[in-house]
Amino acid sequence: MKRAAHRLYLDTNVYVFGRTLERSNSRIILDLTKACAVTIVISDILISEVREVFTRLYGREAGKHARFYVESLPSRQKISTSEIADERRKYAAFARKEDLDHLTAAKIGGAEYFISTNTDFMGSSAKEVVKILTPKRFVELMGIEPYDTPHEE
């Protein structure tokens, strides 16, 4: 019997590192996603943040491409803004305002792991609600040799 793929919520920073650093643990995770080895949960807020970061760093066209990239990944479940709004209060005590919608989307989508490089989020009480791992730790969990990429520890 085939084991079900891990279900992940990838924080915005994972997409940024994964798309800009070829030799990174975030890139490995995105490659696993493209190979359908993991399932991801995405949200409207995540897509918007990824687009905004790439637009700010690399220009408008890069922002459009980044948005399309996230939306076109296989094995994904998209959580809408209205679904998040309906559930947000349940998780308000566990995350800061800027992380709350991401945490809520991860919970609605049934994410097994929340992958992030955000040390504030990893140190928050969100870890009581979902397992939070760095990209490096998740890559190790998958039995893959990780990179020693700064900020992905």
Question: Which domains, and CATH codes, for the chain?
Answer: 6-141 (3.40.50.1010)
Tell me the whole-structure pTM to 2 decimals. 0.93
Render 79-134 in DSSP notation, one character per residue: EPHHHHHHHGGGGGGGS-HHHHHHHHHHHHTT-SEEE---HHHHTSGGGGTSEEE-
pLDDT in tens, 18-44: 999 999 999 999 999 999 999 999 999
pLDDT in tens, 48-58: 999 999 999 99
